[in-house]
Chains A and B, each alone.
Chain A
Amino acid sequence: MAIDAIAAKGTSQRVAPPLPAALFGACAGVLCVSVVAIVGWLILIGVPNAVRVFNPHDPAGVLAPLIATAYVTILALPPAAIVGVFAAMAAADVRVFGSVARAMRNALTLVGSVPTVIVAFAALLAALSFGWHPSLTGAALAVSIINMPLMTALSLGALTYRAAAIREATTALGASPMYVVVRVLLPRAYPRLRGALILVATQIVGAAAAIAIVAGAQAPGGHGSAPIGAWPLAVEVLTRGSAASGYGATAAAALVLTILIWVLQGVAQLRASAESAAQEDR
C-alpha cells in the first residue's frame, strides 16, 4: 500500500520506478494506435471508392442500405424505448414493487449478458417452427427485443443518478414512491434518457449479426425479404466483407457506417447533462 512510502528515507525511494507508468502508458498507446490504424485502413482502402458508394445506381452504393438502416431503426427503437423506460421506472424504487424491483436489477445483468447472436438464433428457430418467413421487419422486431435490456439499464441509470437525496426530500414532503418516480425522477432524467435513446439507436444502426440471422441475409434470393431491396448498411458490410472482389467499396461503406455512429454518439454525449460531464472528467 501507499503507506509503505512513509518508510522510505529519501525522496527517490518514494518515487515509483518508471516501468509501471510506461506499461500503463503503453496500454493506452495500443488502444489509441488501434483506432488510428482501423480508421486509417478504412480511409486508405475506402476513400478511392467513395465515388462508387455514393452512386445510387451502383450495386455497392450505400444510399439504399442507409434507407434500410433507417427503416430498421424507426421500427426497432420505439418499442425498445417504451418497454425499457417503463421497466426502469418499475425497478427505480424498491418501495413501488418491493422485492420484484430488486430481483429485476439483479436479473438485468444476466439478461443483458446473453449474446445477441443467441437471442437472434432463438428468434430464427421460433420463426421457423411457426412457419414464418425471414424478413427485415421481423429482424427489426428481434433487434428491438435484443436492445430492451440495454435501454432498461441505461434508463435505470438515468432515473437513479444521484437520486437518493431527492427521494428522501420528496418522501419527507409526503410524496408516494410512484409519485417520486413519475413526477420527480422522470422529468429530471429527460436529458440522460435522450442520450440513452441515441446510444441504443447507435446499437441498432451497427447491428449486423441479429439482422443477418433473423432476416436470412445470406439465403438464396435473400434481398426479396428486404422491403427496400437492400440490407441495412452493417449487414451489407458483413455479407460482402469477406470477399476480395469489391473489398474497397465495402471498406468505404464501413467507413460511412463508422462515421454515422460517431456522429450519433457525439450527439448523445453533447446531450449529456453538464453535471455528468463534470463527473466524467476524471
Chain B
Amino acid sequence: MCAVAVVAIAPLVFLVLLASATAALARGIHFAWDTFSMLAAATVALGLVGATLGTALGVGAALYVVEIAAPSTRQTIKALVGALHAVPAVGYGIVAAGVILLTPLLPNPLVTFAIAAIVLSIMIASVVFVQMRRALRALPDHLREVAGAAGADPVNVAVRAVLPAAQRSIAGIWWSAFALALGEATALAMVFSAAQAKSVAASAVVLPGTLASILLQVGAMGRSTESLGLAPAALVLFAMTIASVILGRRAVGHVPWP
C-alpha cells in the first residue's frame, strides 16, 4: 500500500492539474497566452543554459576530483562542493537577490537572465558533481588499469578512457539536470522578485520569470481565482518535466535520481 501511495503521487498530481485546468477553462478564467508563451520560453531557455553549463561544470569537476587530483586536494574539493550541495535554494536566492538589490546593476532582462542562469548553473553543477562521481565509481577499475598499463597518465586516462566510457551516463545526467532546471522555483522567484522590486524604482523592463517561479509567486498569494487560472501553466510544466525524463530514458536508458 505504501509503495502504491508513493507511485500514485505523480498520477494524482496530473489528475488534479488536469481537472483544475479544465475547470479554469470551463469557468472562462482569463489565461494570458502571450505572458504564458514568454514564461514558457524563459523556462526552456533557462533550463537549457542551466542544464548545459551545470552539467559541464559538474562533470569537469567530478573528473578532476576522481581521476586527476591528489588525495588531499580531492578531499578539500569534495568537502567544499558537498557544502555547496547542501546550501538551501533560499541561500542561493538571497545572494542573487542581494547582487541585484545592493549593487548598481540595472535589472534589465539580459542582466536578470544572466544572474538567473548563473545561479541555476551552480545549483545544478553541485547535483551533477554528486551524480557524476557515482557514475565514475560505477565504471570498472580495469578500464583505468588497462589505460595506465598502455602508458596513459591520469589526464589521458580521464580524457581518452573514462570520458568516452561515461558518455551515456553524462547524457542521462544532462536530461536529469534539464528536468531539475525546469522545476527550480525558489531561487529564481527571489531573483525575479528582486529584479521587479528594483525595476519599479529604476523604471526598467524586467523578465516576468519562469513557469515555476510564477507558480510559486501566485500560489503563495493564496488567491483561488489566480491560482486556478495558472493550472494550465502548471500542467504544461508537469508535462515538460515528465517528457524530459522519458526522453532521457529513451535516449540513454537511464536518468539518475536523486
Q: Are B255 and A109 in contact (CB under 8 A)?
A: yes
A262 to B83 CA separation, bound complex (whole angstroms): 7
23 inter-chain pairs at a CB distance below 8 angstroms, sorted by A residue, are: A2-B152, A14-B151, A20-B158, A21-B155, A34-B122, A103-B7, A113-B241, A113-B244, A115-B237, A117-B183, A118-B241, A124-B227, A125-B17, A153-B257, A153-B258, A202-B86, A209-B185, A212-B220, A237-B93, A254-B88, A254-B90, A257-B88, A279-B137
In the complex with contacts A87-B5, A108-B7, A265-B220 CB distance below 8 A: no
Q: Is B68 close to A, CB under 8 A?
A: yes
| B residues near A38, Cβ cutoff 8 Å | 84, 87, 91-92, 95
Instruction: Give A152's nearest chain B residue, CB to CB.
Output: B6
Q: Which of B97, B155, B156, B182 contacts A241 (CB 8 A)?
A: B97
Q: Are B13 and A21 in contact (CB under 8 A)?
A: no
Closest beta carbon of chain B to A37's beta carbon, Å: 8
In the complex with contacts A31-B84, A32-B77, A244-B197, A114-B7 CB distance below 8 A: no
Q: Is B81 close to A, CB under 8 A?
A: yes
Q: Is A74 close to B, CB under 8 A?
A: no
Q: Are A217 and B220 in contact (CB under 8 A)?
A: yes
Q: Which residues of chain A have a CB within 8 Å of any CB of chain B?
A: 1-6, 8, 14-16, 18, 20-21, 23-28, 30-32, 34-39, 41-42, 45, 82-84, 86-87, 90-91, 97, 100-101, 103-104, 107-126, 128-129, 134, 145, 148-150, 152-154, 202, 205-206, 208-209, 212-213, 216-219, 222, 234, 237-239, 241-244, 247, 250-251, 254, 257-258, 261-262, 265, 279, 282
| B residues near A20, Cβ cutoff 8 Å | 155, 158-159
Q: Are B65 and A28 in contact (CB under 8 A)?
A: yes
Q: Which of A84, A128, A222, A247 contacts B6 (CB 8 A)?
A: A84
| A residues near B72, Cβ cutoff 8 Å | none
In the complex with contacts A153-B258, A209-B185, A118-B17 CB distance below 8 A: yes
Total number of B residues with any Cβ neighbor in A under 8 Å: 111
Q: Are B197 and A243 in contact (CB under 8 A)?
A: yes
A42 to B241 CA separation, bound complex (whole angstroms): 32
Q: Are A118 and B215 in contact (CB under 8 A)?
A: yes
Q: Which residues of chain B have a CB within 8 Å of any CB of chain A?
A: 1-3, 5-7, 9-10, 12-13, 16-17, 20, 23, 56-61, 63-66, 68-69, 76-77, 80-84, 86-95, 97-98, 101-102, 122, 125-126, 129, 133, 136-137, 146-148, 150-153, 155-161, 164, 176, 179-180, 182-186, 189-190, 193-194, 196-198, 212, 215-217, 219-224, 227-228, 230-231, 234, 237-238, 241-242, 244-246, 249, 255-258
Q: Are B155 and A209 in contact (CB under 8 A)?
A: no
Central interface residue in A125, A206, A237, A250, by most chain B CB within 10 Å: A125
| A residues near B66, Cβ cutoff 8 Å | 282
Q: Are B90 and A237 in contact (CB under 8 A)?
A: yes
Closest beta carbon of chain A to B224's beta carbon, Å: 5
Q: Which of B58, B157, B180, B255 contacts A2 (CB 8 A)?
A: B157
Q: Are A8 and B189 in contact (CB under 8 A)?
A: no
| B residues near A25, Cβ cutoff 8 Å | 64, 68-69
A134 to B126 CA separation, bound complex (whole angstroms): 33
Q: Are B6 and A87 in contact (CB under 8 A)?
A: yes
